Amino acid sequence: MKKSSLAGAVSRRKFLKGAGCLTVAFSMTDTWAAVGEVVANDRLPDSLRRHPRVSAWLEVLADGRVRVFTGKTELGQGIRTAIAQVAAEELDLPMERVELVLADTGRTPDERYTAGSASIESSAMSVRYAAAAARQLLLERAAQKLGRPVAQLQLENGVVSTAGGKKLTLADILDGKQIEDEVRLPITLKPKHTYRLVRKEVPRSDIGRMVRGEQVHIHDLRLPGMVHARVIRPGSYQARLKKLDEAALRQAVPGILKTVVDGNFIGVIAADEYAAIKGQTYLYQHAEWSVPDTLPAGKSLAYHIKELPAKTERVAEKGIIPSGSGAVIKASYFKPYLMHGSIGPSCAIALFEGGNLQIWTHSQGVFPLRDALQKWLKLSAEQVHVTAVPGSGCYGHNGADDVAADAALLAMAYPGKPVRLQWSREEEHAWEPYGSAMLMELEAGLDNAGKISHWKLDLWSDTHSNRPGGDPSKLLPAWHRKEPLTLKTSGFSGGTARNSEPYYTIPNLQIDTHSIAGPLRVSALRSLGAYGNVFAIESFMDELAEKAEKDPMAFRLMHLSDQRAITVLTKLQELLAAQKVSSGEGIGISFARYKNTSAYCAVAAKVAVNAKEGSVQMQQLWAVVDAGEVINLDGLKNQIEGGMIQSASWTLKEEVQFDARHVTSRDWVSYPIVRFSDVPAVAVTVVDRPTEPPLGAGEAAQGPTAAAIVNAVYRACGKRVRHLPVRPDKVAG
């Protein structure tokens, strides 16, 4: 890969002009509708309304291929394949003739973050509509050139042809120009019964590249003249540098090119990676810090977060919650701090050259990162160019933005050379923003028919998003410079309350969130508050079913009115009908609709518990999911499978530990995760609804899986685990 410069490459418009492209505008008519095709009259996706021009989403290349642009990035969810599928489908192109450009501040539309299971709902649908509009315009232009009505033209494999044999390629139609029309409703979409690619299991091309060890991730990227860097972190969140001997470092470690000291921020730049690591190790051993005790070590975390000052907000209210001493059921549930625990530690490359800063990063939001960096480093937005490169594992806000900021600061101190900076495993574990600990206190009543008469939830949690969002105070190195920035927490209570309202029909309901500032650094982790909330709700539903002397499945169904929710549960019931359990085994179920607006997911877990040892063995996981229209069946199944296994790991093993100074979970021994040998058989059944809009599914399985496992453990050994993780001491005996 050639060294990149920002000159002349800071906007899509400059990019197109630099390629010699002119613009042409066509008027859109309802041509396809006239021949009885399907017409979309619904609301345009948010991303498309912000960037309405066709050229923001695609361009026709000189060889007839189509280049598609998306502001979303590939996190392992397969968005590269799914977006290419919808574009190729609407334009009647084979997949290999569609090129995808992801998340680049100089080329793609600004779609903020790849988050919230919204890539299909927003970005893929924007591309679908833009491609459908482009097809219509291309056919109209071809009709003018060929002297034939649109209805007599056929578009296939990038060629428009007539029955008489006349042909035009897409490039011929546009004469080197691009489509600058805005996409407006109504839009004529391709009829679903003619689909060749959508709803099919189109393989992801990047999987083979990973298996072959080719360059896929940011960790693999190598640029000409590249140097390597490492950062020396303080001993705790509040530590201060007392003494550092730079001269001694240069004598002890050959190959050090530069040491950067800015307040409590320390970085070393070296000619090769090994020298940078040796320099980092030396400074960790010889730098002197003041390290105060500031963390609540030795205390019950659930008790501690409840005692912290809190901002209370009522997020849902319906009917009247009875007061007094009536017959009620109460239970308290707890979720600890959880790591992203990315398999590949955070990594970035930065180049400062000619006054411009180029960043290669696996951030989930290249535009918000650019905005934060340009404010922090006192550059203009035009001087900062951020390009997304996939990272090795993350759903949520891990250290990707922080390491990009580290690299940017060091690149500006050592201009003209690409500076590569990769965190160590210890740094990743100790300094990433964690998923917040959560305490959920639930109360409910049952009427004479065994139905829920009232429901009350009090929820304590820190924020579930401290993404940069243009705010440099959320970047880790910004806290450590000589002129430090103080973190301005977003207080994103929407993430805290996500899925806090049960998706069941309950006449009287009250939900209060109590937002606190906890002791550890936190931000977005996959599903945000939904994991903890659904774990609590669906565990409580099982407890209520037992009090009501109802079957857990029947109890849920009697409280549901949404037929799609009923369908996923009844299909799950059918899958479990033939299952047998032996002594020490149990099957648990759970259900949720992610955000109460997105994908429906019902999960069952079968476990075996050794009560003597307290061990829990997962035997099988089942899921039934309804995500509306399916784009890539294999990709959807992969998302649910991966979500179930990740959730099982959170539920059974994971918990961030800390002492009075800092996090002590700094490797895979002190922070264990599910291993390949622990993974059970996983079966996913998809309810395809081609006439319904596609729904985000990447975060649908986390909460239901946790509750299904805990409910299964209860059935296997009679122990109800309300405080995660499910450690041996909680089920033994």
What's the pLDDT tens digit per position in 273-292?
999 999 999 999 999 999 99
Last residue of a domain, one of 390, 424, 458: 424
The two tokens of residue 720 are: 């109800």
* Same domain as 193, residue 229: no
| Domain annotation covers residue 381 | yes
141-184 pLDDT tens trace: 999 999 999 989 999 888 999 988 899 999 999 988 999 999 99
CA distance 481 to 262: 5
Confidence (pLDDT) at 31: 39
Domain that holds residue 233: 219-291+340-424
Q: Is the pLDDT of residue 23 over 50?
A: no
List pLDDT tens digits, range 612-624. 999 999 999 999 9
Model confidence band, residue 4 (pLDDT cutoffs 50, 70, 90): very low
- Judgement on whether residues 398 and 463 belong to the same structural domain of the protein: no
Last residue of a domain, one of 209, 227, 256: 209
Band (20; pLDDT cuts 50, 70, 90)? very low
pLDDT in tens, 532-553: 999 999 999 999 999 999 999 9
Is 333 contained in some domain? no
At 115, is the pLDDT very low, low, confident or very high (cuts 50, 70, 90)? Answer: confident
Residue linked to tokens 């090769």 = 272
For residues 649 and 349, what is the distance between their CA atoms, to the nearest angstrom? 31
229 and 105 share one domain: no
Q: In what order do the strands lie in the sheet with 227-232?
A: 256-262, 265-270, 227-232, 419-422, 347-353, 356-361, 384-388
pLDDT value, residue 204: 87
* CATH number of domain containing 494: 3.30.365.10
Verify that 650 and 724 share a domain, yes or no.
Answer: yes
Residues 6+ apart with CB under 8 A from 417: 225, 226, 227, 351, 411
Residue 200 belongs to a domain: yes
Q: Is the dihedral of CA 267, 668, 390, 133 positive or negative?
A: negative
Cβ atoms within 10 A of the Cβ of 34, count? 12
Question: For residue range 418-440, what is the model confidence (pLDDT) as tens digits?
Answer: 999 999 999 999 999 999 999 99
Q: What is the pLDDT of residues 314-328, one digit of tens each?
A: 999 999 988 765 679
Q: Is the pLDDT confidence value at 18 over 80?
A: no
Q: How far apart are the C-alpha atoms of 709 and 726, rounded to whole Å?
A: 9
| CB-side neighbour CA atoms (13 Å) of 540 | 29
421: left (phi over 0), alpha (psi -120 to 50) or beta: beta
Beta bridge partners of 339: none
Residues 603 and 661 in one domain: yes
The mean pLDDT value for 52-59 works out to: 96
In a domain, residue 657? The reply is: yes
Q: Which of 424, 458, 479 is the last residue of a domain?
A: 424
d(CA 403, CA 386): 13
Strands 66-70 and 98-102: parallel
Q: Is the pLDDT of residue 16 over 70?
A: no
Q: Where are the alpha helices (DSSP H) in 473-529?
A: 493-496
Q: Is residue 431 part of a domain?
A: no
For 104, counting Cβ atoms within 10 Å of its Cβ (0-12 exposed, 13-18 middle, 19+ buried), the class is: buried
**Domain count within the chain:** 3
> How does the average pLDDT of the chain come out, rounded?
91
The first and second tokens of residue 584, run together, are: 């020490």
Token code pair at residue 179: 């489509």
Q: Which amino acid is at 481?
A: R
Kindly state whether residues 81 and 158 are assigned to the same domain.
yes
What pLDDT score does 17 carry? Answer: 34
543 inside domain: yes
More confident residue, 530 or 205: 530
Question: Same domain, yes or no, for 150 and 251?
Answer: no
Query: Are 708 and 560 in a shared domain?
Result: yes
298 lies in some domain: no
- Average pLDDT of the residues in 335-355: 96
> Residue 591 and residue 599: Cα distance in Å, rounded?
11
Give yes or no for residue 34 having a pLDDT over 80. Answer: no
Q: Based on the domain organization, do 578 and 622 belong to the same domain?
A: yes
Q: In what order do the strands lie in the sheet with 159-162?
A: 153-156, 159-162, 167-169
| Residue in 591, 590, 568 with CA at minimum distance from that of residue 688 | 568
Give the percent of the chain with pLDDT over 90.
81
Assess if residue 633 is contained within a domain. yes
Place of tokens 């001997």: 245
Mean pLDDT of 557-581: 97
Task: Judge if 370 and 444 occupy the same domain.
Answer: no
